[in-house]
Structure formats: structure tokens, C-alpha cells
Structure 1
Amino acid sequence: MVHSPQLVLVQKNMTWEEALNYCRDTYTDLASLTSYQENTLAVRKSTKAEVSHVWIGLHFVVRYWIWVDGHALEYQAWSEDEDPKCPARNLHCGALETDTNIWTPRDCGEKLNFLCYEK
């Protein structure tokens, strides 16, 4: 049986990189939502977020969106009109929109709540 890691919502506003470091220091890692089920669970976990978006472990490197934990980006939840294949230079970090369960490219310097994997 595969045990999927538990998600925890951190109700602190941090930049994407601060969130990544916080998750890695305090928990395991910034959450990688690799399936519809995980994405749905993440949305449920995010209902108490103080902001409309929460950071997830998704970022744009060179020409690709990748998960920080190395998972392949097979499942995707971008909105229909969002084509993040070539995001603007300042929109290289992925966030989950808490009321629609859609991912959006955001400014990495924005301060948002975020989802970590528990140990």
C-alpha cells in the first residue's frame, strides 16, 4: 500500500522560497500535487488560508515547470486560458487558487500561505 504524505497548511505569509525553506526545515517539503486526489485534498486543506492562493512546490526552471521534489509533471491543473509554458519572468512560482482548485503562475516574491508535506 502506498502511503501518501499528509498535507499541512502553514498560515504564515512567506515568499515562495521562504515557504520552500520553511517546509524543508520544519516538515519535509513544499507540497507537490501529482494527482487529482492530491489537488482536491490540497483545496480542502486550504480552506482556512488567509489568502486566495497558497504556494505549492511548483516552479518554472529554464523551459519547464517542475515539482521541487522531482516528481514528473503528469497531472496538471492550470486553467484553460492560462498557458504557463512561457510565463512572464516574474511569474515563475506555482500557486493553488483555493476556491477553484486551479494552479496559477505567480510572482515568487508574493507573500502567501503555503502547503507542506508532513514528515
Structure 2
Amino acid sequence: MGKTWTDAQTYCRNNYFDLATIRDTDDLQNLVNSAPSTYFGQAWIGLFDDVNSWHWSLSDSSFYSTGETSFRNWESGEPDNLGGQEYCAAMTPGGTWDSYSCQERLLFICFAENDPNRYIVISLARGWTEAQTYCRKFYTDLVSVRTKAENDKILQTVLANFVVPKLLWIGLFRDSWKWSDLEDSTFRNWDTWEPDNALLYEQCAAVYLLQVDSGGWADQLCDILLPFFCYE
């Protein structure tokens, strides 16, 4: 019985609890063992790509007042996830934000909790993850932007450092894969080179059920028809 991911989710919720969540290797092995021995292919699990799931690198909840973690200053049309791989945010010369591939080498802004200047512009071109590592090593973290006033202040700091405005990384990133039942498990078992978003809209996860090496995951178009795993 093949269904799209959304139809499979509906079926599981109506008849059981939800699509399967996999929390560890034991869960994964039990799931693979429960599959019919005659089926070799893929089957839906409960993992999906939430394109609106943006978070700040600085995760200390005490740093934010109510509502401040959700402040956004996106450029019109952003985030557009152009090419399917734009998981990190940069501040433009005008102070708005655009999404970019995290592999882009940009200058960046660190936040220094114990420095009176607080916002430290780093004139080194780095990928987002490298920038995050640098800020955490020498300061506190990549900069978070909690309010419009803070965004304006950060922009003024940037403009004071450059004659020609630059594009700079900030601490916002998209941690997008979530479980259908909202389980917060971070366990992942992606197959080699996955998730690759090869067709640009691969936002649902399936598990490989093979004669050899079952259990790897792949991202897939959500509207293809596959068997699926529910749990109760």
C-alpha cells in the first residue's frame, strides 16, 4: 500500500499514533526487522524538512526576552532557499537579511557578551560553520538580532568598519528536519551523500529496506507513493 508522505501521516494518525520516529539504533533495527521480508525499496518515516524552522546559534534561553527569538528582518522574497541549500542567514548592506548556502565564504559578526562593544566585525571570509567556530572560540557566538533597534545598531557597527558595505554572516540558521510527532530526537542515519535535495523539493525522509545494508535514510519528494511505518 503506497501513499504520499502526507497521506501516510494522516493514515497513521487516524489509525495508530503517527508516522514512525527513530530515536536510536535500536529503534532503527526494530523498524527494519518489522518490514516484510519480500519488500526491497524505501518506506516513509516521520522525518520532514520544515523550511520555516530558523534558529539562533546562541541558544541560551536567558539571553532572550519573550518573542525575541522570533524577530526577523528578511529581505522581500527571503528566505527563498534558492537551489535548495540555503540554510544560513547573512545581513545585507541595507540591514535586511538573505538566506545563503552555508558554504559561501563571507565576513561575519561575532557577539562578545563581556566586551563593551558587544558586536565584533571579523574581516575574514569564512563559511558559516567556520565563522560560528571562530566566534565561539574568541568571543561568545555569532551575533543574534533580537529587535529592530538591535538590528539598526549592528548595521551601524558594520557601516563604521567598511567604506564599501559588505555582506556578513549573522547567527541565524535553519535546523530544518523535524519528526512528525514533534519528538525532539536528534538521531539521524542518513545514507551516504544524503540528504542531497537532488530534485530541489525533497522534504520528506524515507528509510532504505534492502537485501544488504538496510536502514540508511534518504530525502525524497513527498508526493511519491511509498509504503510507510506507523507506531502506536
User: Do the aligned partners of 1:14 and 1:110 also contact (CA within 8 Å) in 2?
Assistant: yes
Instruction: State TM-score, norm by structure 1.
Output: 0.80
Displacement after TM superposition at 1:49 (Å): 6.4
Say yes or no: does 1:32 pair with 2:21: yes
Deviation per CA, 1:27-57, whole angstroms, max 9, x where unpaired?
A: 1100011111001111111234645001000
Q: Distance in 1 between matches of 2:42 and 2:31?
A: 11
> Where has structure 1 moved over 2 Å in runs of 4 or more?
47-51, 86-90
Say yes or no: does 1:102 pair with 2:216: yes
Percent of residue pairs identical: 30
Say yes or no: does 1:67 pair with 2:179: yes
Q: How does 1:1-119 map to 2 (within 5 A)?
A: 12-48=1-37, 50=39, 52-62=41-51, 63=174, 64-82=176-194, 84=195, 87=197, 88-99=199-210, 100-118=214-232
User: Do the aligned partners of 1:51 and 1:112 also contact (CA within 8 Å) in 2?
Assistant: no
Pick which of 20-29 and 63-72 moved more.
63-72
Displacement after TM superposition at 1:76 (Å): 0.8
C-alpha spacing 1:108/1:77, structure 2 compared with 1 (3 Å):
same
Pick which of 67-76 and 20-29 moved more.
67-76
Q: Distance in 2 between matches of 1:98 and 1:51?
A: 5
Displacement after TM superposition at 1:80 (Å): 2.9
Instruction: State TM-score, norm by structure 2.
Output: 0.43
C-alpha spacing 1:41/1:79, structure 2 compared with 1 (3 Å):
same
Runs (5+) with no aligned partner, structure 1:
1-11
Higher strand share: 1
Report the AA paired with residue 36 of structure 1: T
Q: Which structure carries more relative contact order (alpha carbon 8 Å, separation 6+)? A: 1
Q: Distance in 2 between matches of 1:39 and 1:25?
A: 23
Displacement after TM superposition at 1:23 (Å): 0.2
